[in-house]
Amino acid sequence: MARRSIIAANWKMNGDLTLVNTMVNALSEVDFQNNVNVVICPSSPYLSALVAKTKEQKLGPTFAVGAQNVSEHENGAYTGEISTKMLQELSVEFVIIGHSERRSYFKESSTQIAHKVSVALNAGLTPILCIGESELERATEQTETVLASQLQPVIDEVGIEKFVDVVIAYEPVWAIGTGKTASSEMAQETHQFIRQFIAQADENVADKVPLLYGGSVNASNCEELFAQADIDGGLIGGASLKAEQFKVICLAAKGK
């Protein structure tokens, strides 16, 4: 079975109702390639509006709504947190987990992130698991060690067989929002390592897991990046706030 391509938009703490309407209207004009999914992940206050707008425009199964975070707890005294049940009720299908900003600013550990992946999978949500190294770690040739240390706790928690329902986004921390982008060769080399690392546990699963690249992806560099053998799409930040540029990125994606 061919791997699907996924273009996921991470709006972070940006966007508004106007962008929700503008983006959905723009995407409704696009004929996506077969085996391509587009996921928009707005801030939580806009999830309901985005779901409603996609239904109004009848975007269909190609398009999905995702959240930027989820709690590892089902309910309780966790002010400000969002549970999987809440996301299910809003018809959210994907959730970003382990983004470098969550790891850095909010001190989420790989163990906590593994728990979040587990509860998301148990709730029928598709986790977009983010991994990536810092500029110093890249410079000191620790990239593979770091990525392995971020992946292994999740494998240990959920089991390798569950990774057929996981999307992995490789985002080098030094390229997020900086304008710096890994060369297509560098990105492919790292994605190949990720796939091979998963293959050590299960080759069949490794062949099916979509691997996304994130880190200053834009309309100019997306086609070359997505052409690489092990890059199945992108997790898009700043460019996903610009409807016309995001359309170009979506059209560059093709299932493998």
Q: Which residues contact 181 (CB under 8 A, 6 or more apart)?
A: 175, 215, 216, 217, 221, 225
Q: Which helix (H) or strand (E) holds 147?
A: helix 143-158
Amino acid symbol at 41: C
Annotated catalytic residue, options 72, 101, 108, 171: 171
Q: Which helix (H) or strand (E) holds 168?
A: strand 167-170
Beta strands in 102-150 (DSSP E): 126-131
Q: How far apart are CA 256 and CA 223, in angstroms?
A: 14
* 191 catalytic per annotation: no
Q: How far apart are CA 222 and CA 245, in angstroms?
A: 10
CB neighbourhood size of 200 (10 A): 11
Which tokens belong to 63? 């398009």
Annotated catalytic residue, options 72, 99, 101, 133: 99
* 115 catalytic per annotation: no
Which tokens belong to 190? 């790292």
Which residues make beta-bridge pairs with 167?
128
Residue positions annotated with a catalytic role? 99, 171
